[in-house]
Structure 1
Amino acid sequence: MAAIAGARLASRRTPGRLFLLDHPLFKGGALIMGAGELFGDKMKSAPDRTVFLGLLARVMSAGIAGAALAPRGRERTGATLAVATAVPLAYLTLAGRKRAMARLGQTRSGLIEDALIVAAGAGIVAAVVGRSR
């Protein structure tokens, strides 16, 4: 969501039409939440991403992102595919993160995970936004 909000702040268009993406409060909130996620999951008190509220937030943000990045008129399909991907990945990435934490520690494993996720998200958004000009 933060990558999409950043693209929209840079006046780049996404193929899917979602009115929320044009609201300044939403764009700013998505950027703040993205930064908060980067810092929050390094805390020892951070809950697993598979708790109910974590999964709910993941479902909502995946649905919005999937709809925004889907071709025009296919927003519902994009949202459905994104949610269907995000939920199982929450469990898979949690298992991987726990293994990495045992070897590297919480902060280092979190930084590596964040670097991979930020790069992947920015790359996907850049590729889709670049095609939708």
Structure 2
Amino acid sequence: MQAPSLFWSVLIGAIASARSMTPMAALSAARLLGRHTPGKLALLDRPLFKYGALAMGAGELAGDKMKTAPDRTVALGLVARVMSAGIAGAALAPSGRERAGALAAVATAVPLAYLTLDARKSAMKRIGQTPSGLIEDALVIAGGVAIVALAVKPDRRG
């Protein structure tokens, strides 16, 4: 059974709603493992982008646990989600539908950022900032890795 054409783009947008850098880190890891995305983006083959995205993904996970970490719905947080979701959504869209994939991912990421923030705040009240963040990290990383793993294919160029 084949997934609907923008299915993976919408799902990666949901991941970006909670962790803006996880979609880019997951795509970069896939490229480093010799996988290719359905959507064509030369950016994914640039070493600075691949390694930078991995570093930013790890940094975001650490920074999120700090008491001074801003909410994901502040302007800069939303801009990061728009950019990450757009790039990842385009990469996971079928070839020729990259723009539609980017739009679908962004349209998912931005409103869900508010819902995931509410869920996180609720969890923080019950179990604290660090435990709720670690649980959210585990769910988001697992989801991002699964989505990318299911959406990409082995690189047959070499």
- Residue in 1 aligned with 2:46? 23
Closer, same or farther: CA 132–8 of 1 in aligned 2, 3 Å: closer
Aligned counterpart, 1:87: 110
Which residue identity is paired with 1:81? A
| TM-score normalised by structure 1 residue count | 0.97
Further displaced range: 121-130 or 92-101: 121-130
The 1:132/1:125 distance shift into structure 2, 3 A limit, reads farther
Alignment of 1:66-77 (within 5 A): 66-77=89-100
Tell me by how many angstroms 1:130 deviates. 3.7
2:142 is the counterpart of 1:119 = yes
- AA of the residue aligned to 2:149: A
What is the CA deviation profile of residues 57-82 of structure 1, one whole-angstrom value per residue up to 9, with x for unaligned ones?
00000000000000000000000000
Gap regions ≥5 residues in structure 2? 1-23
TM-score normalised to structure 2 length: 0.82
Q: What residue identity is the alignment partner of 1:49?
A: R
Contact kept, 8 Å, 2:92 with 2:101, in 1: the verdict is: yes
Once the two structures are superposed, the pairs formed by residues 1-133 of structure 1 within 5 Å of their partners are 1-130=24-153
Give the AA of the match of 2:66.
M
Greater RCO, 1 or 2 (C-alpha within 8 Å, sep 6+): 2
Unpaired segments ≥5 residues, structure 1: none
Choose between structure 1 and 2: higher helix proportion.
Answer: 1
RMSD: 1.3
Structure 1 runs of 4+ with >3 Å offset: 130-133
1:10 and 1:93 mapped to 2: Cα distance?
30
Q: Take 1:101 and 1:14, find their aligned partners in 2: how far apart are those partners?
A: 36
